[in-house]
Amino acid sequence: MSVNESSRTPTTNGEIQGGGKSVHEQMRHDHLITSKQLSRADIETVLDHAAEIDADRSAFADRHADKLLGLLFFEPSTRTKMSFETAMKRLGGDIVDMGAVESSSVTKGETLADTVRVIEGYTDALVLRHPKQGAATMAGEFVDVPLLNAGDGAGHHPTQTLLDLYTIRENAGLDDLTIGIMGDLKYGRTVHSLAYALSNFDTRQHFISPESLQLPREVVYDLHQEQERVQIREHESIEEVLPSLDVLYVTRIQRERFPDENEYQQVAGKYQIDTEALETARDELTVMHPLPRVDEIAPAVDTTDHAAYFEQAHNGVPVRMALLDLLLRDGGETDE
């Protein structure tokens, strides 16, 4: 699961189940760059561990008392950054934060490759968010401590995916799942990461978006590589597919993707969910959103049984605790 191999050679379940290295050993000291590198067994290990932590957080309170996590956020973040910070502190560890780009050495023209090599020397693991696609892949080539990708431009956001999967598993289960993913599918990195990860499970994936914001051909190409397991359909309208869904994953359509306000309003209006729209949905439908939302989910939906997006955001802590715990275990330590 090294960085370059990971983008092309997913770990195989057979290797993990066949008595070779345990998934804990494989994940230890490793980078998490893209959800593509995660096998079904990897995902289940993280989610099971997150459930364990969720059930009794105090048991993990001083697990990493001597460890420091470096936060390198070259783009604004609230949830991702704060939940990493919370997760590390709940494990007994601490964080060091580069702070805003404006007050860092980046303004002096330092390369990312240099920055990560410097901060690596201060910390036991790194979390990186960067506006450029492939930034985490490249940074991972320069450091030995575990590096977690917290978003690289329009690329990947695998820790968001793991908390999304955790939420889906808690609410609807991950196999025999019919999921609709709606909104900005072109630039939405959470969408790409989620679609890849779901291809490890028996899922029917419906992608609902305006034509101009359909999935990039790179993502479709990869999903078609998994064709035997995954069924993919693309739609322009939610109505035809909503009644069949177990999960509806809504993302924000950004104003800046459209040339003018009128066009934005016309398009975005078709991809909004309110209680009236949900009348045709199954009672068990789970509605998710990576947040922040603007107006794509009406506030009235918040109090329905469908709404799982705040729970989803809260799940960021146990899932990131689980990931950090798995990645920060000492080299000589055996699985407990």
Partner 1 sequence: MSNDHDHHDGNDDHELRVSKIRDGTVIDHVNGGQALNVLAILGIDGSKGEEVSVGMNVPSDRLARKDIVKVEGRELSQDEVDVLSLIAPDATINIVRNYEVIEKHRVERPDAVTGVLSCPNPGCITTAGEPVTSKFEVLDDAVRCVYCETIVRDEIPSLIDT
> Is 64 among the catalytic positions?
no
Taking CB under 8 A as the binding criterion, the range among 135-143, 246-254, 263-271, 298-306 that sits at the site for partner 1 is 135-143
Q: What is the DSSP letter of 324?
A: H
Taking the least distance from each CB to partner 1, the nearer of 138 and 298 is 138
Look up residue 247 and give its DSSP letter.
E
- Distance of closest approach, residue 216 Cβ to partner 1, in angstroms: 9
| ω into 292 cis (within 30 of 0) | yes
Task: Tell me how far apart the alpha carbons of residues 248 and 175 are, in angstroms, rounded to a whole number.
Answer: 15
Of 102 and 279, CB closest to partner 1: 102
Looking only at residues 196 through 225 of this chain, which bind partner 1 when binding is defined by CB under 8 A?
Answer: 217-218, 221
- Least distance to partner 1, CB of residue 208, Å: 23
14-73 positions binding partner 1, by CB under 8 A? none
Burial of 29 (0-12, 13-18, 19+ CB in 10 A): middle
The helix (run of H) or strand (run of E) holding residue 130 is: strand 125-130
Residue 290 preceded by cis peptide, ω within 30: no
Task: Name the active-site residue from 24, 156, 157, 192.
Answer: 157
Known catalytic residue: 129? yes
* Cα(61)–Cα(53) distance, integer angstroms: 10
Query: What six digits make up the tokens of 219?
Result: 């993502």
One symbol per residue from 144 to 163: x for binding partner 1 (CB under 8 A), - otherwise; what is it?
A: --------xxxx--------
Verify binding: residue 280, partner 1, rule CB under 8 A: no
Is residue 36 within 8 Å of residue 7, measured between CB atoms?
yes
- Which residues are catalytically annotated? 79-80, 108, 129, 157
**Which residues contact partner 1 by CB under 8 A?**
4, 7-8, 111-113, 130-135, 137-138, 141, 152-155, 217-218, 221
